[in-house]
Amino acid sequence: MQSVDRDRVVTAARAGSAESWDSIVGSNVDAMWHRAMAAGLSALDAAQVCELAWLRLGQRLDTLSTPAEIAGWLDEQVGREAAAMARQNRVREERGEPGNVVPLAPGFGSALGRIPARRRGIGGLRIEPAQAQL
């Protein structure tokens, strides 16, 4: 993206332009994903790291002095968040705690057991009835 175009896009994003935000996302999303995955995170953890970086950019876009800083800032943010996530995962593993556990409604495990195993994947995750009863 040319400097003048980048300035225009960021100025428009600061004013709330969805099209400009789409351009910013399109220019950075792949690099962010690769940085998060390179930290050894699962796809789910990498997605969370990237989402958090986008949220922080939305909160802090006005604080960046030049539009050229966005890519570097996002890269740094993803690196920090990925390192923090990796540390949290190591601590959980050392304690023997399961990762990425979501509390489920009572009875969900038995209902899940009636779904054919090949249909139990959600967003790349595999959920088994025994896991649902945690």
Give the CA distances from residue 104 to residues 78, 91, 107, in Å, rounded to whole numbers and listed in that order.
29, 24, 8
Whether residue 8 has pLDDT greater than 60: yes
Residue 85's nearest CA partner among 34, 122, 43 is 43
Instruction: Kindly indicate the confidence band of residue 31, based on its pLDDT and cuts at 50, 70 and 90.
Output: very high
Q: Cα 78–79–81 angle (5° rounding)?
A: 65
pTM greater than 0.85: no
pLDDT higher at 112 or 11? 11
For residues 92 and 99, the answer to whether their CB atoms sit within 8 Å is yes
